Amino acid sequence: MRQIGLAILFLFFCVFQSKAQEIYSVRSLSMASTTLANAFHSNPSALTTFDNNNVSLSAENRFLESELTYYNLSADMHGKEIDLAVHVSHFGYSEYRDISTKLTLAKSFTPRVAAGIGIKMKTHKHVNADRNIYLGFTPGLLFSLPYYQKIGVSVSSDFLTSGDGDNIVLGNICYGITFDKHFFTIECDYTHNEEFIGKAGYEATVIQPLRIRCGLTFPEPSPSFGIGTSLGIIDLDLSYSFHTHLRGIFGLSLTANINKK
């Protein structure tokens, strides 16, 4: 009976995955999964906006079931010529399993223009079905504007290279502005279901190093909240987001910042 229940919950996740995308950052999760809040899988050029070389481990739980926890291990490296990030994620249990690996490369060509590309391979295994392999590419551009503003655009294509399925094309436009101790970002996704999904996120530094965050996804209202703090070289981030179908999603991450650019 428990296996049947888990299968039903997992099916919910798969059906609505386009609105609850893979998360590479708990900070982003608490800000409606917005790109400039460190979900640069939507636009890889946004990797250039971050300074620290770091290693991060995050977990995202759905339905309070341990089998339905999403794990992610990532490493971001920033050099003088190019920025590099590697992410490996796992979701599922013995009956169902998704494993994703993504390589992100980005470069600032001028102080105002950056470009990047993401390459993702995802394998999906069902106990009663063949293994499916997805290969995806995401090119993106990011422009820095006066008064600490940024605007980016990207297009993604995921190709099912084994098994049955349709090509997925997704477009993303994002905008962000920083003023004093506040950061606001808004963006729009165009999904393979021919839907437009809006996202807005906000972060404020209350007292160093405490940060509070919130976000909203629309037209289906999905609020999210979170806090973050730093303990030496370690960043601790907590998040909670509410999804219409997935209900409450809890996120936790620990990030070790190695050094600066």
The pLDDT, as a whole number, for residue 181 is 92
- Say if residues 250 and 240 touch (Cβ distance below 8 Å): yes
DSSP state of 111: S
Q: What is the pLDDT of residue 125?
A: 77
Q: Are 107 and 126 in contact (CB under 8 A)?
A: no
Domain count, the chain: 1
Contact 130, 105 (CB under 8 A): no
Which residues does 161 contact at the CB level (< 8 Å), separation at least 6?
Answer: 133, 134, 135
Residue 241, domain CATH:
2.40.160.40
Question: Could you give the maximum distance between any two Cα atoms of the chain, in Å?
Answer: 58
- Residue 62's pLDDT is what? 63
Q: What is the dihedral of CA 144, 146, 149, 155, to 10 degrees?
A: -30
Count of alpha carbons within 13 angstroms of residue 140, beta-carbon side: 35
The helix (run of H) or strand (run of E) holding residue 15 is helix 2-15
Is 47 in a helix, a strand, or coil? helix
Our CA angle for 60, 91, 31, nearest 5°, is: 30
pLDDT the model gives residue 246: 59
SS3 178: strand
DSSP annotation string for 214-256: EEEEETTTEEEEEEEEEETTEEEEEEEEEETTTEEEEEEEEEE
- Give 58-81 as a 3 state SS string: EEEEECCCHHHEEEEEEEEEECCC
* 244 DSSP β-pair partners: none
Domain boundaries, position 207: 2-259
What pLDDT, on the 0 to 100 scale, is given for residue 29? 87
Q: What is the reported pLDDT for 118? A: 92
As a whole number of angstroms, the distance between CA 42 and CA 153 comes to 9
Regions of the chain short of the pLDDT cut 70: 1-24, 39, 62-68, 94, 127, 129, 158-169, 244-247, 260-261
Contacts of 12 (CB under 8 A, 6+ apart): 245, 246
CB atoms within 10 A of CB 85: 23
Which residues on neighbouring strands pair with residue 75, listed in sequence order?
55, 86
